[in-house]
Structure formats: C-alpha cells, structure tokens
C-alpha cells in the first residue's frame, strides 16, 4: 500500500450531516499508478451512522471531511502566516477554543476558518475507529478542494459545486466563500479528462491530499488523535520498508555467496581436468599443426584457389567492372616474385584499358567491398603510345 511516506491508495470520505442522526456519505477510493491517479470505486450512502459504517470499505488509509449541519465557516483578512488561535478568535470572538476543532486555510492574506464542535466530532471519530476505519486526516468543509482547483473544468471566478461557492481573484486566489444548496455548476464537471459528480469532488480532494501529503501544504483540523495516528502509521510503514530492504539485502548476499561458491567450485574442477590432460594436449596440438601445415603446402602446390569456382570469380569481375573499362587479360594464380611463389596466396592479375582513371579507382573500391576479396592494388597505370587510352594492371588477392 505504501513505501516510506508515499501512499499508493487512499480512501476519501465526505460525511455530511443532514440532521443530528442522519448523514449523506460520499466516498471514493483513489489509486496511484506511476504518475496517474484513478478513482477505482465510489459511492453515495444516506442514512444513520451505522448504515454508513456498514457500507465503507476497510483496510485503506482514510481522509475524512466533515460538512453540513454543525460546521461553521468564515472568511477573514489575516497575515500570510497567522497564528491559528488568534485567527479563531478574530473569526468567532465568542467561541471557546477548547470546545472546537479548528481548521485554517490562508491564501494571500485571506483565511477561510472552519470549525466543528468536539462534542459531536470526537464521539463520531471514536465510533469510526472502533469499526475499523483508520482516519489519518480530518478536514472541515470544502477547503480541502483548493489543491485540485487547477484540475477542475470549472474556469469561472465563482467556483460553484455541490452547495459550495468559492469566489476567486484574477490570479485564482481566495476572496470569499459561502454555502447554499442552490450552488451548482451549470455543466458536467471533469477532473482532467475524467467526469466526476459534483458530490464526489470533496471526497476526491480529501483522498488526493492524503495521498500526496508529502508534496502539498496539508489542510487539516487541529485533531491531535488523528495527527498522532497518522504519524504512527508513517513510522510503522517506514519500519516495514527498512525490514523489507534488510531481508532482500540478506537474501541477495546469500545468493551472491552461493553463485560465487558454485562458480569457483566449477572452475576448480575444470582446472584439475586441464592439468591432467595438458601434456597430452600439447603433444596432440603440435602434431595437428604439423599435419595442417603439410596439407596447406600440398593444396597450394595443387593450385588451390580458396574454394572459389573460376567461373564465379570471372563473373564477379565482369559484372562489377564499369563500362569505361575494357579487360584484356585475366590470369589466375600467376606468381611472379619469389615471395609470391613461396606464399602461393591465391591471386588474380587483371589487365585492361580505359580512358578514365576515376573508373579504375571506382572499380578498385567496388572490388574491396566484395566479401571474398582480401586486397586490391594498382600495379601499373600508363598511357598507350599514340592513343588516348590508358593501360592498367591490377593485382587482387582472395
């Protein structure tokens, strides 16, 4: 589910009070795969708290948002880095700090302050925890959606959805907030290219913030029990990762040790066999080399031409010769010098005439590209007496 502090799956829940005992619950499961986020499941459930709890998935890190009846919101002007306690007093002068969970979101000197009574929140959190719902982030109202505003297809200065309206400046910073059941977006809403119901936006934003908590400025209510649970969750995940890395490290070391032992044991056995046969192999090798040398000498004496058919060689020469060349003589294995007679390397002597030296050079280049040709060199090149033609001699070895 996670490595270190990076979550790959999270469950976002918006729990909206309809009355003191009934709720509208909207939840979605958000899954991260590489750089993409996908909503793998979503649902809306209305009814009592027990009905809601029965419908919720288990074994996911949960980001819970409380909204509806019992939550209060106010926008005030503050400093860019305000003190939360002072902001609460300025927004709600008659409120006792110890009686409420407070959440402050500040954007360019404007703070959205959201509160909810501890007397109704703490019993709710306790029931959810006893039901196996592990809550690691608690927010109040729709302030958590600020992280996904750039993803939404809503481009107006008044961002309306599911009963919420955020008024934004030209630079898309917060100016005001209000809530009314009449606030709806006139067109279907999308997150990126994926359509999303308006009543799922807050739940999606809560899951999004929890999943990317290490990359975002987290918006959260000042709930010590939830914050402590999340810190413990991260520590346990970090410890699991360390144990996993240690286990794989030990396994890798054991594997390397086994492979090295097998390799050196096989090498030792090979060396023992080689030592036992080295003397006989040396004698046998010398005998084979002498026998091969004798056979090579006999083959050269018999005029061995490297296994190539003379007709094939002549065809290769004729078909590759440029039109500007006229071949007058082709001799196979015509050894002139003492060195050639001693080496007896298969060769072809070619004589011809041309009126263009470039044609000879081009042919030499073409012949060198033949896979059966070893070397080609121009032995002689001279102009014929009383003629515009040039005579050339080539020596080709193969």
Residues 142, 147, 153, 155, Cα dihedral to 10°: 80
Cα-based distances in Å from 378 to 108, 310, 332, 348, 375: 85, 22, 16, 12, 10
Residue corresponding to tokens 């078909």:
319
pLDDT tens, residue by residue, 2-58? 333 468 899 999 999 999 899 999 999 999 988 888 999 999 999 999 999 999 999
**Is the pLDDT at 152 greater than 70, yes or no?**
yes
- Axis-axis angle for helices 310-320, 357-368 (nearest 10): 130
Determine contact, residues 398/374, Cβ cutoff 8 Å: yes
The Cα 38–Cα 193 span in angstroms is: 11
Task: Among 23-32, 194-203, 227-236, 299-308, name the one with the lowest average pLDDT.
Answer: 299-308
130 half-sphere exposure, CB direction, 13 A CA radius: 8
pLDDT tens, residue by residue, 258-296? 999 899 888 888 888 887 777 666 677 778 888 877 766
Looking at the chain, the number of H-run helices and the number of E-run strands are: 8, 19
The Cα 195–Cα 213 span in angstroms is: 24
The percent of residues above 90 in pLDDT, for the chain, comes to 57
Distance, first Cα to last Cα, the chain:
68
Beta-carbon contacts of residue 350 (< 8 Å; ≥ 6 apart): 317, 327, 329, 330, 393, 394, 395, 396
Q: Between 298 and 126, name the one with better pLDDT.
A: 126
Mean pLDDT along residues 213-233 = 92
Cα-based distances in Å from 87 to 78, 145, 162, 179: 7, 21, 27, 21
The Cα 318–Cα 312 span in angstroms is: 10
262 half-sphere exposure, CB direction, 13 A CA radius: 6
Residue 196 backbone dihedrals phi, psi, to 5 degrees: -145, 140
Reported confidence tier of residue 1, pLDDT bands at 50, 70, 90: very low
Cα-based distances in Å from 290 to 177, 286, 294, 297, 341: 100, 6, 6, 11, 21
The pLDDT value recorded for residue 4 is 38
Mean pLDDT, the chain, whole residue set? 88
pLDDT tens, residue by residue, 294-340? 766 676 665 555 667 888 899 999 999 999 999 999 998 888 888 87
Is 355 strand, coil or helix?
Answer: coil
Q: Between 136 and 384, name the one with better pLDDT.
A: 136
Reported confidence tier of residue 102, pLDDT bands at 50, 70, 90: very high
273: number of Cβ within 10 Å? 10
Residue corresponding to tokens 């006893």:
130
**pTM to 2 decimals?**
0.61
Reported confidence tier of residue 219, pLDDT bands at 50, 70, 90: very high
**Is the pLDDT at 167 greater than 90, yes or no?**
yes
Q: What is the DSSP track for 301-327?
A: HTT--TT--HHHHHHHHHHHS-TTEEE
The pLDDT value recorded for residue 276 is 72
Tell me the two tokens of residue 189: 């809403």
Determine contact, residues 327/350, Cβ cutoff 8 Å: yes
Residue 37 backbone dihedrals phi, psi, to 5 degrees: -115, 135
The Cα 44–Cα 13 span in angstroms is: 10
């Amino acid at each position: 589910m996670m490595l270190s502090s990076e979550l790959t799956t999270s469950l976002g829940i918006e729990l909206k009070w309809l009355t003191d005992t009934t709720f509208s619950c909207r939840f979605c499961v958000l899954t991260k795969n590489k750089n993409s986020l996908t909503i793998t499941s979503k649902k809306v459930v209305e009814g009592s708290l027990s009905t809601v709890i029965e419908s919720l998935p288990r074994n996911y890190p949960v980001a819970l948002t409380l909204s509806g009846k019992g939550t209060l919101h106010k926008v005030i002007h503050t400093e860019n880095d305000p003190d939360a306690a002072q902001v609460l007093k300025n927004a709600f002068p008659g409120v006792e700090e110890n009686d409420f969970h407070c959440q402050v979101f500040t954007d360019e000197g404007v703070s959205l302050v959201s509160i909810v009574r501890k007397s109704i929140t703490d019993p709710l959190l306790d029931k959810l925890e006893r039901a196996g719902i592990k809550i690691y982030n608690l927010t109040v109202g729709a302030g958590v959606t600020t992280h996904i505003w750039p993803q939404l297809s809503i481009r107006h200065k008044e961002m309306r959805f599911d009963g919420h309206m955020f008024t934004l400046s030209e630079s898309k910073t917060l100016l005001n907030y209000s809530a009314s059941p009449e606030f709806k977006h006139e067109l279907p809403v999308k997150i990126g290219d994926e359509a999303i119901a308006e009543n799922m936006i807050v739940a999606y934003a809560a899951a999004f913030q929890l999943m990317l908590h290490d990359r975002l400025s987290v918006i959260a209510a000042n709930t010590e029990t939830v914050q402590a649970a999340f810190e413990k969750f991260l520590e346990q995940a970090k410890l699991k990762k360390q144990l996993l890395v240690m286990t794989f490290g030990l396994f890798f070391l054991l594997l390397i040790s086994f492979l090295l032992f097998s390799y050196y044991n096989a090498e030792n056995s090979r060396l023992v066999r080689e030592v036992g046969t080295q003397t006989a192999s040396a004698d046998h090798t010398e005998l084979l080399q002498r026998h091969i040398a004798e056979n090579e000498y006999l083959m050269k004496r018999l005029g061995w031409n490297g296994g190539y058919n003379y007709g094939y060689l002549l065809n290769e020469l004729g078909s590759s010769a440029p039109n500007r060349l006229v071949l007058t003589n082709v001799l196979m294995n015509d050894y002139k010098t003492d060195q050639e007679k001693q080496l007896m390397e298969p060769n072809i002597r070619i004589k011809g005439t041309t009126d263009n030296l470039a044609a000879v050079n081009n042919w030499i280049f073409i012949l060198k590209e033949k896979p059966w040709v070893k070397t080609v060199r121009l032995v002689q090149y001279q102009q014929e007496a009383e003629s515009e033609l040039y005579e050339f001699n080539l020596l080709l070895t193969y």
